[in-house]
Amino acid sequence: MIFETHAHYEDPRFAEDREALLTKLPQEGIDLVVNVGSSLESTKETLALTKKYPHVYGAAGVHPEETGALDEESFQWLTQVVEEEKIVAVGEIGLDYYWDEPAREIQKEWFERQILLARQVKKPMIIHSRDAAQDTWDILKKHRAEEIGGVIHCFSYSLEMAKKYIEMGFYIGVGGVVTFKNAKKLRQVVADIPLTSILLETDCPYMAPEPHRGKRNSSLYLPFVAEKIAEIKGISVDEVCAQTKENAMQMYQIKGCQV
């Protein structure tokens, strides 16, 4: 059975078949899902999904691209949501320098505020970092992130950086990109880090793995990711699925299979 650690089923691209898809996931071997908030509205919708589906948990947070919408009133609402029982992480939060907006100082401010929130509620963080390797690392070190823990979602940096995050106690999120022909760097990371430090994720509806690249992604495609990791590491798919599920249960502090 597979633990899907990062999905966005509140996305409009699931509007027509969301209920049917989420209902059948356990029958298809995807027994647990964490739906991840990326804005105030998607966090609200994520909370609703956790209440509707026993096998769906959630993360509450504001993605760096959405931090321009945050103010003290909305942040106070977020601090209440993260206390909910089935909200198991703060995320996705971090830095994204690919775009010019919001300004980097705004991103940094709310990244740090959400790190402090994670510390306050004692829940792990889901970190988004794009073209911002050094600043992300510096801020996490500043706030002693090793005392909080979490995952570097959709990991795209070097093997050296992966090892530094693992030493900090973080997991490395691996999704469909590992199946892409041009993903040599990520495959090297997967080959060289321990399986005990890897989480399976899709980031659906984005980044579907080969042979479905370019299509709408879903948790149903996670076996393709598990198969590629098994191939890279020379182990069985069952071992990949079992260990990454155990990793996720530990990080998200989910006891047993609460579905």
- 130's tokens: 């794009």
CB atoms < 10 A from the CB of 136, how many? Answer: 26
pLDDT in tens, 183-236: 999 999 999 999 999 999 999 999 999 999 999 999 999 999 999 999 999 999
Helix crossing, 133-142 with 104-121: angle to 10°? 40
- 220's tokens: 């149903």
Return the pLDDT at 244.
98
CA distance linking residue 210 with residue 194, whole number of Å: 24
Residues 185 and 158: beta-carbon distance below 8 Å: yes
CA distance linking residue 5 with residue 244, whole number of Å: 10
Per-residue pLDDT of the chain (259 residues; tens, 9 = 90+): 999 999 999 999 999 999 999 999 999 999 999 999 999 999 999 999 999 999 999 999 999 999 999 999 999 999 999 999 999 999 999 999 998 899 999 999 999 999 999 999 999 999 999 999 999 999 999 999 999 999 999 999 999 999 999 999 999 999 999 999 999 999 999 999 999 999 999 999 999 999 999 999 999 999 999 999 999 999 999 999 999 999 999 999 998 654 4
Question: Taken in order 55, 9, 182, 212, is the CA torsion positive or negative?
Answer: positive
- 162's tokens: 């992966």
Domains plus CATH for the chain?
2-251 (3.20.20.140)
- Tell me the sheet residues that pair with 36: 59
Return the pLDDT at 258.
44
Query: Model-level pTM?
Result: 0.96
Return the pLDDT at 203.
98
Residues 127 and 143: beta-carbon distance below 8 Å: no
CA distance linking residue 79 with residue 201, whole number of Å: 25
Task: Decide: helix, strand or coil at residue 91.
Answer: strand
pLDDT in tens, 10-21: 999 999 999 999
Return the pLDDT at 198.
98
Whole-angstrom CA distances from 51 to 48, 137, 142, 157 are 5, 34, 35, 35
Residues 204 and 154: beta-carbon distance below 8 Å: no
